[in-house]
Chains A and B, each alone.
Chain A
Amino acid sequence: MSPQIEACSAVSAFRVSVNTQEARIKRQQKASPTKARDGIADTHPLGVGKDRTLQAQRLLSHPPQSLHLVAPVWNGGTRGIGGLSRVVAPEGNQKKGRSLLQFLADRFYDVEALRDHLLRKQVSKVHQKNRPFNHINQRYGPYVAGAYFILKQGGAVRFQGREWIRPNQRGHFSLDFLKLQAVPVEAVDASGCAINYQGLDSLLALKELQSLWLQRCPHVDDWCLSRLHPLASSLQELSLAGCPRVSERGLACLHHLWNLRRLDISDLPAVSSPGLTRILVEEMLPSCEVLGADWAQGLKLGPEEQPRDTAGPTPA
């Protein structure tokens, strides 16, 4: 029988219903067609005309049998009472959409917990990528450990006097550099890698690093920039182009890097005024060549400076 009808009949204590077969069939016909009708009414332990208080109790207490694993709260009578299991036949796209939404809405806290879990999994994936390789550090030394860390992330490394080592498209790289324990790393290209504040531990051990490219790294932010000061004596080239989280506040702590000769701070979306920032950074690092936004970027032309080539063709 339709749950709606049963709910109403349970709460209305004075509703008189006819306990005949015809009445039952009529009610079934009026009921929602998504419910199966194969003899459920015949096997109903309680006739409708029987014991209303019992039905009321059943409605208000937990539904005794349920296929769904939800906490037993009052469900507004939308699911069967009397512990009847129902086969819900899908009836058309609209019905299916609505029952899917209803399904999700009934399990709000489960969905929220699932979303929370997925988010935390994403965060822990980044953490996992930035774990320190202590055993490699102990066995092969800090240069090899740093190089391994960068290569594992997908970046490239150049040892002093050698060529660039890059992983191939699959992410595999040769382990020849394991024997270069005493050779310092000169250049690191960590563009696009998921390096974050924790991961910089491995980089800061490379004391003779001269060139560091952190282009388009999604997790490099102002906190990471404040950590770069141990490399001050050797670092000559730094590129931060396209990092979405770097702002002018992080750029302010690059003044520790007194040996810096080339700095690339173009395309930083989080910097509020790129032109002014470039001027201030150039003042802060006088011996450094700063590649950044145009000085006039963001400035509006005054009325008398408007281009006057509106009328007439340009002379040949």
Chain B
Amino acid sequence: MLRRTLLLGLCRGPLGRGLGTHRGGSILGKVEGRGGYRGSWMAPSSSSVTFRTQDPAHDVKTVGRLGGGDRDGKMSEIKKKIQSILPGGDWNPLYDTSYLPPEGSDVVIVGGGVLGLSVAYWLKKLEKPRGAIRVLVVERDHTYSRASTVLSVGGIRQQFSVPENVQLSLFSVDFLRNINEYLAVADDPPLDIQFNPSGYLLLASEKGAAIMENNVKVQRQEGAKVCLMSPEQLRNKFPWINTEGVALASYGMEHEGWFDPWCLLQGLRRKVQSMGVLFCRGEVTRFVSSSNLMKTASGEEVNLKRIHEVHVKIDQSLEYQPVECAIVVNAAGAWSGQVAELAGIGNGPPGTLQGTKLPVELRKRYVYLWHCPQGPGLETPFVIDPSGTYFRREGLGHNYLGGCSPTEEEEPDPGNLEVDHDFFQDRVWPPLAQRVPAFETLKVRSAWAGYYDYNTFDQNGVVGPHPLVINMYFATGFSGHGLQQAPAVGRAVAEMVLEGHFQTINLSSFLFSRFYSGEKVQEHNII
């Protein structure tokens, strides 16, 4: 054994890892290894693979019927060791590099939340042939302590004003209903996302009644099951509501409700790992790209950029790994704006396409959990007040979750996730108590804060490639409804990456270029 190590040690370069990349493919068969390249290894030809098996255990003289079974096991161990030593394997005599991402990957997804994992899942599902694409997901927060996915209230609805949003939600609800067919992993228990099909109830005042009617028409056209209710019908159905100031209400009968986002995230993660997607715990600190000055058909000159390498800095370390990539997907959620800036998006004179930044920012939102023993019962839907305050039932013990989106002037500082309890007293409780008189006596049990990946332009998502940085794709900016559209958006981005155009749901109105051309796709029903 020692002799063999010395033999190999002498053959290698002084460093275990060196420059360049070398991947897979030894003569001993397919080796699926991470960690890449091994220094100046001379290509072994079959005749010069000389391994001296002088160990007494493998002495030919002692072979016989008794040693037969052991031999098989020991031989296969030896073969595994040989495979890991040869180029492409992941044995490194100097130090362990298993925490590093691979040196190259076809697609690098920045951000491992529900949108990033959904893109990874659909890339692996729609790729032809199977195993063709190597996908790497880079997530710097492996406990998901600040991720929007797990801090969200988990609602899903089709009551949007933009038809594409309705289609995205309908597909996502279909995905959630058949989640155990989509995300089935052999020998693992089925997923229970604990979906509450209680529906959403949107209330509108006099001013918003006409817009609501219009929206409901659009939603019904796309196939959502929404019904309009007058204040009289509202009082009959939900006697605990005070209908003062409410002119119209729209109630989702089917396919709307809330579920457990953590379960969806874990289900996606498990499935995506079983499909062979690589994960890395690190932060993207740099993009290495190259530019080309090209001429469009009309003779105009454009500077097209292409990202070649992604520098992934490992958590709590100064070490980084340059990952060569073909495509980068920006699914970094609330931090997508910073990732886009790293790629040079927005570096240019304002008013031009080069100078258009990705308008996604961090916005902090609070969620409060309270207990009200006389509160509404089991039939409580997800109620959204005209003032923007919302609440929903949580569990069977008369607990409720709710909150409110602050106005632009009172936006809290997104530097940390501290909760402001005065916000509940001043902005959330009064409209709630007015709408549901039983909420005049309640006790706040707990609260938390999370980030919205808020699109300051029109509060709708950005999907698709950037017109100038041609291999960066966006899947972000959904401003609070990203979780409920994640499965559908993931599929749209995967189709864009693999086919070049949207196939199932046409999201061309959600492309980046609308920020430059100024065409807003304003979503009115944002909570």
Residues of chain A having any CB pair with chain B under 8 Å = 2, 4-5, 7-9, 11-15, 30, 32-33, 53, 56-57, 60-61, 73-74, 76-78, 98, 112, 115-116, 119, 123, 197, 222-223, 225-227, 229, 247-253, 255-256, 272-273, 276-277, 280-281, 283-284
Contacts and interface: CB of A to CB of B under 8 A. Distances in A.
B52 interface: yes
18 contacts: A4-B63, A7-B75, A8-B63, A32-B68, A33-B65, A57-B47, A78-B72, A78-B75, A119-B184, A197-B177, A222-B196, A227-B254, A247-B194, A250-B197, A253-B199, A253-B379, A280-B377, A284-B379
Contacts of B76: 76
B75 A4 contact: yes
B60 to A, nearest CB: 5
Interface in B177-226: 177, 181, 184, 186, 194-199
Contacts, number: 114
A223 B79 contact: no
Nearest to B80: A76
B30 interface: yes
B294 interface: no
B348 to A, nearest CB: 49
Nearest to B69: A98
B27 interface: yes
Nearest to B79: A76
A171 to B, nearest CB: 28
A122 to B, nearest CB: 11
B378 A251 contact: yes
Nearest to B379: A255
B291 interface: no
A56 B49 contact: yes
Given A13-B50, A14-B52, A284-B379, 8 more contacts: A4-B71, A7-B75, A12-B53, A74-B28, A74-B29, A115-B186, A116-B186, A277-B396
B142 interface: no
A223 B379 contact: no
Given A222-B197, A253-B198, A284-B377, A60 B53 contact: no
B253 interface: yes
A13 B46 CA distance: 12
B60 A9 contact: yes
Nearest to A77: B75
A11 B379 CA distance: 74
A253 B71 contact: no
Given A223-B195, A250-B197, A255-B379, A15 B184 contact: no
Nearest to B28: A74
Contact of A76 (B58, B75, B194): B75
Contacts of A11: 51, 53
